[in-house]
Amino acid sequence: MSTIQSPIPTKEVELKPSVRRRVGWSLVTAMIAEVINKASPLVVLYFAQVRLQVTAFGQTQYALVAAETLIPFVAFGYNGLASLELGERSKDSRYGGGLISNVLCLKAIHLVFVLALWALFVSSTPGKAPWALDSAAAILLLASCCDTDFVHYGSQTVAARNLFTVAAKILGAAGVVLFVRDPSDMVIYAAFAAFPALAVSCLSGAYNLRLFPLRRPNFVEMKALSRRAIPYGLFGFIFAFADRFDVLIVGHLLGPSMTGIYSGQMRLVQSVTTAASSIGMIFYAEMVSCNDRPMFTRHAHLSLWAILTLVAPIVGGIWFVDRSVLTLMYGPSFSNYSLVLDLLTMAALLQVFVLVLGNQVLVIRRQVTRYNKIMMFAVACGALVAWQLSARWGITGVAIGNLTAKTITVGLFFIAARPFLESFPWAILMRTLSPAAIMALALALAGLENLWANIALGGLVFGLAFLIINKAPLRELLGKPSRRPSNGPESR
């Protein structure tokens, strides 16, 4: 019997009830968190663009993106490596406490050097934002140093992190609305934009240290850990740079005004990819402790199915609401660049496969070096295309470069990840993309002009089509497994 007739391959075992409950609860909290993650960037970006105006907004975004690009130098792959190693020994609190201590100490050492690197970077950047923004950007670096998210993923406690994210995002958005009034408040905006990351790090740290009390750092273990983390450190830097190289190109070649226009649209799309990443990390947390290949494949299939369920309708509907969304969010002048939003949204669809095939399958199976080589090649190609096309087509050319990088990455990831999966889920693509195609066809035939009418019709058509096409996998994921006999060992 074929193994690709549904998002849940038929020859694989049922999820244990405890795993199903954990995944279900994590998905519920992730949905709540992502509602906030969707709403808060919209609120923050709207008030920031209107009150700061495009030049100050562009300067602020450039400073924050530059700081985000330096985060991998602080984290240096320790989080990724530690999540895998903790997943293998998540019941050993003594080992977990020692691992946390060693990771935090190593990241603190990195932070000192990164702050010096940051100072050199901003001092040599022409037209950079005022110096006071440096302290706000440093909040992001400090948050990365204190980050213990790897404990949530290694110990399958992602739901707790989701709740912390909700609280932090609400407070950050409230700060922007209440205290950002005009362009002179760009520093306040930057501080509140960076605040949620630090708040989540602090809350997660307090939670995780109750599970794994700190031990005295062991310098011999730290030395060995730092060596093992080198490929993961390169992975973190490449992934962060791949997600932001286009903004850096716009900032250097096209100036702060174009940076504001481009980064505003990029942030809208990133609110989607952030949600996709959050859902993917729920399944990542299950996969790190899964040694059974059929069950590993099953989690990868479910991850792809869940993320595409979120992203597919957005990709299918953006073509009909792009100008309206940009006008609503930023004003009529942004609607002239609606093609940029369309291209970035297409890149977000490809990012789904980067997350599942790359960040989950290849990284968990310790194929980090291969991952790095693919990403470096793809980003180099995308950056070259963006640089060449920016002179003629401006930020639209840069968006094409972004899409080029994602396309190359996904093609090579398909090839690299295939040996680690029982089957490739072609049926999942049909089950998730076909409702989006039906929705797009309905919107095209309706020819509606009103934004909210398009959203209502699109949501209704997609929802009905999705429920009809995905009835069987929905029943199984929601706790109504099929009656077929189990053919393998249970998941851990």
Is 70 exceeded by the pLDDT of residue 127?
no
Q: Are 396 and 340 in contact (CB under 8 A)?
A: yes
Q: Which range has the top average pLDDT, 152-156, 321-325, 345-349, 466-470?
A: 345-349
Residue 79 included in any domain: yes
Q: Which of 95-104, 129-138, 275-284 has the lowest mean pLDDT?
A: 129-138
Q: Are 263 and 62 in contact (CB under 8 A)?
A: yes
Residue 32 included in any domain: yes
pLDDT at 4: 37
Is 70 exceeded by the pLDDT of residue 487?
no
> 220: exposed, middle or buried (C-beta count within 10 Å: 0-12, 13-18, 19+)?
exposed
Angle at 108 between CA 105 and CA 112, to 5 degrees: 145
Bigger pLDDT: 484 vs 238: 238
Average pLDDT over residues 242-255: 86
Residue 485 included in any domain: no
Average pLDDT over residues 255-270: 84
Is 70 exceeded by the pLDDT of residue 53?
yes
Token couple for 358:
């790359």
Residue 484 included in any domain: no
Distance between terminal CA atoms of the chain?
26
Is 90 exceeded by the pLDDT of residue 271?
no
Bigger pLDDT: 212 vs 58: 212
For the chain, percent of residues with pLDDT exceeding 90: 24
Torsion of CA 95, 100, 101, 105, to 10 degrees: 140
Residue in the structure block whose two tokens are 């010096």: 116
Average pLDDT over residues 473-484: 57
Is 60 exceeded by the pLDDT of residue 386?
yes
Average pLDDT over residues 399-427: 90
Q: What is the DSSP string of 57-86?
A: HHHHHHHHHHHHHHHHHHHTTHHHHHHHHH
pLDDT at 456: 94
Residue 1 included in any domain: no
Q: Which of 139-153, 349-363, 387-401, 448-462 has the lowest mean pLDDT?
A: 139-153
In 177-308 the beta strands, taken as DSSP E runs, fall at none
Residue 6 included in any domain: no
Q: Which of 45-49, 121-125, 173-177, 328-332 has the lowest mean pLDDT?
A: 121-125
Angle at 404 between CA 401 and CA 408, to 5 degrees: 145
Q: Which of 104-113, 192-201, 272-281, 336-345 has the lowest mean pLDDT?
A: 272-281
401 — pLDDT class (breaks 50, 70, 90): very high
Q: Are 338 and 268 in contact (CB under 8 A)?
A: no
Average pLDDT, the chain: 81
Count Cβ atoms below 10 Å from residue 430 Cβ, excluding itself: 13
What is the per-residue pLDDT across 307-356, written as a single tens digit (0 to 9) for each?
999 899 999 999 999 888 888 888 787 888 889 999 999 999 999 999 99
Residue 490 included in any domain: no
Number of domains, the chain: 1
Count Cβ atoms below 10 Å from residue 185 Cβ, excluding itself: 19
pLDDT at 314: 93
State how far the alpha carbon of 366 is from the alpha carbons of 150, 198, 253, 370, 438, in Å. 16, 29, 37, 9, 39
Residue in the structure block whose two tokens are 């226009």: 261
Residue 10 included in any domain: no
pLDDT at 350: 94
Token couple for 484:
């077929």
Cα 321 from Cα 309, distance rounded (Å): 19
Q: What element of type H or E holds 140? A: helix 132-146
Q: Are 270 and 247 in contact (CB under 8 A)?
A: no
pLDDT at 437: 94
Is 80 exceeded by the pLDDT of residue 135?
no
pLDDT at 308: 92
Average pLDDT over residues 389-413: 93
What range defines the domain where residue 126 resides?
17-477
Report yes or no on whether pTM surpasses 0.85. no
Q: Which of 135-139, 239-243, 336-340 has the lowest mean pLDDT?
A: 135-139
Count Cβ atoms below 10 Å from residue 221 Cβ, excluding itself: 13
8 — pLDDT class (breaks 50, 70, 90): very low
Cα 341 from Cα 325, distance rounded (Å): 10
> 161: exposed, middle or buried (C-beta count within 10 Å: 0-12, 13-18, 19+)?
buried
Is 90 exceeded by the pLDDT of residue 168?
no
pLDDT at 410: 94
pLDDT at 156: 73
Q: Which range has the top average pLDDT, 41-55, 237-251, 336-350?
A: 336-350
